[in-house]
Amino acid sequence: MYFNGLGTEKSAAQAAIWYRRAADRGLLDAEVQLAELYEDGDGVPKDDAEAARLYAKAAEHENVEAQYHLGLMYEDGRGVAKNLSKAIDLYRRASDRGNCDAANNLGALFLTGDAGRKDETEAFKLFRSAATYGSAEGQYNLAVMYAAGRGVMDDPSYSQFWSGRIVTGDRRSNMDHALVWFRRAAMQGQVNAQLKLASAYETGAGVAKDGSQALIWYRKAADQGDAKAREALGRLQGSGADPEVDKPSEIRTAVFDKFTGYAGLSCGPAGPYMPDRACRNGVGGAAVIDCETGPDGGLYDCSIVSESLRDFGFGPASLAMARARAITVPPTPNDPGGFHPVRVVVPLTFTGGYRSAH
């Protein structure tokens, strides 16, 4: 409460005191939160060695966030001696349990060969996992792999969806896939993805040329201080393109009023999709996922766009709901050329409260 300013004045120093008390009693979440304060120097003197010690205690008990952060410290040599072998082991343990940042970092090590061998296929798999679970860097890296055709593998779940229904396998090109992931990363503010997307619209690489869309994405990158984006803005504005024109998005937003109060989004025996950590802490949250519709109303090829209180698992819970068909949309009518999937953005709200013991 002190750290987030919930119901009291925000104070990292006071939060550190209470995190310390809870950590001394073995509460893993408190050890991780306290370690983050020491790593950032927020409310306590910056102390990487103490941060690493606390992360290590929690990592021993398979705390995923601690494993990721400790892996990062071993990779960088902060608070501990640099040790890529230990970093790789920790990243692997965390990524196997759904930590998207660990998966992205491990993928980068396989891509460069620093993981002991250079393996583009393994890097692609890890970037795809990171991207699906909402890592903007993972989404950008996956898009780059698709664009270059490096390590690309078919998505089994997607191919299984299409097989025997409309077409066999996924007939989209690598560039089609790349643009999907560039857009997802750009929506999260990844500046290099914004540049790639803007360039695609400017040149017509994989999409219809659209100077207005190019300006929109160049402006977003320029607002983050990117020099190349500012240069491109000057060039396009000089050509007469209108930066204020935002054409209708190819992504439609689906708002599911019928899911208001759905039991799966609250704590209790009937709430199987509410994250356990959120229930233990009595908090609610929200997530937004980006998906493709199927002819049966199911949601496929989903990824996390955003989530509140990221460490509490609202994004992965939303993906689980999509996979289990707990969320569906009205099927999109086929056009004369057959069914074409539509991209949808799905917002979900999870109700706070403590899980019943029944």
What CATH number corresponds to the domain at position 256? 3.30.2420
Name which of 26-30, 48-52, 152-156, 281-285 the model is least confident about.
152-156
Q: Please tell me whether residues 5 and 83 are part of one structural domain.
A: yes
- Is residue 108 a part of any domain in this protein? no
- Is residue 315 a part of any domain in this protein? yes
- Is residue 243 a part of any domain in this protein? no
Give tens-digit pLDDT for 193-249: 999 999 999 999 888 888 888 999 999 999 999 999 999 988 887 765 554 444 434
Q: Please tell me whether residues 229 and 279 are part of one structural domain.
A: no
Count of domains for the chain:
3
pLDDT reported for residue 323:
84
φ, ψ dihedrals at 161, nearest 5°: -60, -45
Q: Please tell me whether residues 257 and 187 are part of one structural domain.
A: no
- Using the predicted structure, report yes or no on whether residue 356 has a pLDDT greater than 70: no
At residue 284 the predicted structure's pLDDT band, cuts being 50, 70 and 90, is confident
- Is residue 195 a part of any domain in this protein? yes
Domain that holds residue 330: 251-350
Domain end among 190, 217, 238: 238
Q: Please tell me whether residues 205 and 268 are part of one structural domain.
A: no
Q: Please tell me whether residues 187 and 279 are part of one structural domain.
A: no
Q: Please tell me whether residues 256 and 344 are part of one structural domain.
A: yes
Provide the CATH number for the domain around residue 53. Answer: 1.25.40.10
Domain end among 191, 213, 238: 238
- Using the predicted structure, report yes or no on whether residue 156 has a pLDDT greater than 70: no
- Is residue 112 a part of any domain in this protein? no
Q: Please tell me whether residues 18 and 65 are part of one structural domain.
A: yes
- Using the predicted structure, report yes or no on whether residue 254 has a pLDDT greater than 90: no
- Is residue 140 a part of any domain in this protein? no
Cα 15 off chain centre by: 27
| Global pTM value | 0.76
- Using the predicted structure, report yes or no on whether residue 70 has a pLDDT greater than 60: yes
Instruction: For residue 191, give the 3-state DSSP assignment.
Output: helix
Residue 132 near residue 144, CB atoms below 8 Å: no
Domain end among 55, 74, 97: 97
Q: Please tell me whether residues 170 and 256 are part of one structural domain.
A: no
- Is residue 107 a part of any domain in this protein? no
- Is residue 272 a part of any domain in this protein? yes
Query: How far, in Å, CA of 217 to CA of 210, rounded?
Result: 11
Distances (CA, A) of 289 to 4, 60, 61, 147, 330: 25, 32, 30, 23, 17
Strands (E), the chain: 251-253, 285-293, 299-307, 343-350
pLDDT reported for residue 233:
87
Q: Please tell me whether residues 259 and 194 are part of one structural domain.
A: no
Q: Please tell me whether residues 11 and 79 are part of one structural domain.
A: yes
Q: Please tell me whether residues 269 and 310 are part of one structural domain.
A: yes
